[in-house]
Structure 1
Amino acid sequence: MKLERLLSIIYRLLNHEVVSAAELADRYGVSQRTIYRDIEAICAAGIPVVSYQGANGGYGIMKEYKMDKSLLGSDDIASLITLLDSASTVFQDERAQETIQRLKTVQTDNGRAPSLRMDLGSWRAYVALLRAIRASINAGRVVRFRYMNAKDEHQDRTVEPVSLVMKYGTWYLYGYCRTRRDYRVFKLTRMSELAELPDVFEPHPETRMDEMFPGGGFGHEQVEHAVIRFAAGSSARVLDEFYVDEKTFHEDGTLTLTIVEPIDAEWLIEKLLCFGEYAVVLEPPSLRQRMKKKIAAMLGRYEEV
């Protein structure tokens, strides 16, 4: 596409002092004569392209025309580039790549390593699903898929996809479920047999994050607070799983965790069971009882051992 090539050439000229016609022709797979015409079109649009003669000659844009690099701090720009680059790697987003090129026009090279890195590799197991859903969102097309709910029931859902949300370390699809005639949140790991339908739907109004995940996003019974004692040797794992919660370290190596915000009881129980004998619920009594019942049920499966 000529327009896309022209825009890309402009960003490349903004990011480099001098670029030769041969380099541009090779990059875009066209002849140098086509590049000459492209440069004329860019100049006709009011962008001051300067021609430099000589062995190292080529084209560049007047320095006075380039954006002031002081508008954003170098760390801010580097962070934005890193985040966009990570997302574009997963979604193969050409628009994000174009935005990166724009940001690079105002980036100052300070010679330091990036202060922020992000690797989305942990989501590559279902990257095809992420790309397919986002394509349907951008196209405004309805999707259908099989979904397993919290009761292990498989159901067919027809959804008008609104947005992909990464929350609680997991990707979710938020959309209007035609099956339930209401907005719903779907965990991507529970989706299968995704298919895009020919139906086109009208864009949905912007939705706040708390509306997508009412009550914390789990939909189970919550406990208002919890106090858990962890045995010596488990503190590092506790920090990994409960970093933001209040923790008290004791001289004997044990640790007391206090959760003062409402939290999903089932999620907390499953998380604590991963600690085995290293975790003991002290409060509230109702949570202790639920833990005891869960452990008894687990022991019941090993009666014949």
Structure 2
Amino acid sequence: MKLERLISIIYKLLNHEVLSASTLAEEFQVSPRTIYRDIDVICAAGFPVVSYQGMNGGYGMMDGYKMDKTLLGSYDVASVVTVLRGLASVFEDERAQGTIERMQTLGPDDQAPSVAVNLDTRRTDPEALPQLRAAISQRLTVSFDYVSAKNERTTRDLEPAGLQFKFGNWYVTGFCRSRKEQREFRLSRMLNLRLTRETFAPQQELSREVEATSGAYEAQLEDVVVRVKPQAMAEALDQFHQSEKEFHADGSMTLRLRVYRPLEAQWLWSMLLGFGSGAEVMEPPALRGILKQQLQQALRFYEEV
């Protein structure tokens, strides 16, 4: 514990102009006398700590002193710090913040960040990510209610293996005891998340199962062709940016999407219907029929209007 505190003090002094003994004592939950002894040890180890007197006095590193930067270049440091900042903001992780301070000592003083990472959590329970991360690190099973893409609500027991942020949403992967297979769950659809006290051993065959199912997934991808009018262009590009695009002289656009089982993909139906009259599905014909049926059912709510 003392060694970890000494290392942390060194990096803090490298990243701040002057820090008082009382400030350091409060942060590390020790007495100022302990900090004085720590500073003596740091000086004895060869670090040029300077003592400043007065009301704003304290300890700092000699001007111009930096740790060896040969292990990482400035680009590497900036990239790592950018990612860590995003994680620290999501998980409120003091360890990540400590790592950021240590990494910053290896970068140039005047380098402003050119990239920011926003790991948006507005679509999840604010407690879900920290709870799942704790469950993964401690290998604790979790229980929750889940609303599937078919709007079916079930209770699941999961051995969580990892968290992923993709397509603007957080997902947790792991072994679902309820279905007895590897599954992925979107956090925005998880309700009443509960950590249990039951531990689990890591599943050894999960990676093989994922590889085996990936081929079956690819085989069930189908083309969906959508004609988009100019007034829906921006929204369509936001939603389907990675699709094939063909632009036409009248300002419209044709998109070709590869979708897993589009005739069952209710998320796709909702998205396409959300374009209103700004988009028309051209293929497959069966999907056109499904959307027509969805529109007719919705119109029944407004027959008296």
Q: Same fold (TM over 0.5)?
A: yes
Instruction: Percent identity, please.
Output: 41
Q: How far apart in 2 are the matches of 1:18 and 1:298? A: 65
* Alpha-carbon displacement from aligned partner over 1:35-58 (angstroms, at most 9, x marks no partner): 1222344467xx422343564774
Note the 1:144-163 alignment, pairs <5 A. 144-163=143-162
> Does the Cα contact within 8 Å between 2:123 and 2:188 map onto a contact in 1?
no
In structure 2, the residue corresponding to 1:7 is in which secondary structure?
Answer: helix
Is the Cα contact below 8 Å between 2:135 and 2:195 reproduced in 1?
yes
Structure 1 distance, partners of 2:42, 2:203, is 37
> Cα–Cα, structure 1 residues 205 and 110, in superposed 2: closer, same or farther, change >3 Å?
farther
Bigger mean CA deviation after superposition, 184-193 or 20-29: 20-29
State the distance in 2 between where 1:237 and 1:115 align: 27
2:225 paired residue number: 227
> Once superposed, what is the RMSD of the aligned Cα atoms?
3.6
Counterpart in 2 of 1:250? 248
Change in 2 beyond 3 A, CA 1:73/1:123: same
Q: Does the 8 Å contact 2:221/2:259 carry over to 1?
A: yes
1:64-143 aligned at under 5 Å gives the runs 66-68=67-69, 71-74=72-75, 76-112=76-112, 114-123=113-122, 125-143=124-142
Q: Give the Cα separation in 2 of the matches to 1:110 and 1:205.
A: 47
Q: Provide the residue aligned with 2:168 in structure 1.
A: 169
Q: What is the rounded CA distance, in whole Å, between the counterparts of 1:201 and 1:223 in structure 2?
A: 34
Q: Which amino acid aligns with 1:286?
A: A
For 1:109 and 1:216, the matched residues in 2 are separated by 49
Distance 2:7 2:22 in 1: 18
Q: CA 1:212–1:155 in structure 2 vs 1: closer, same or farther (change >3 Å)?
A: farther
Describe the SS at the equivalent of 1:117.
Answer: coil
- Could you give the per-residue CA deviations for residues 140-197 of structure 1, whole angstroms, max 9, x where no partner exists? 1111222223343332222111111222222112111222222211222222222221
Structure 2 residue identity aligned to 1:171: W
Q: Which amino acid is 2:270 matched to?
A: E
Which residue type is aligned with residue 240 of structure 1? D
Secondary structure (helix, strand or coil) at the match of 2:192 reads strand
Shift in CA distance, 220/69, structure 1 to aligned 2, threshold 3 Å: closer
State the alpha-carbon separation in 1 of the partners of residues 66 and 114 from structure 2.
Answer: 29
Amino acid at match of 2:80: L
Q: Deviations over 1:252-290 (max 9, x none)?
A: 22222233x344512333211111111112223333333
Counterparts of 2:205 and 2:15, CA distance in 1:
35
**CA positional deviation for 1:106:** 0.7
Aligned to 1:35: 35
TM-score (norm 1): 0.81
Deviates most, 58-67 or 121-130: 58-67
CA distance in 1, matches of 2:129, 2:272: 30
1:17-28 equivalences in 2 (<5 Å) = 21=21, 23-25=23-25, 27-28=27-28
Q: Which residue of structure 1 aligns with residue 6 of structure 2?
A: 6
The code of the aligned residue for 1:67 comes to D
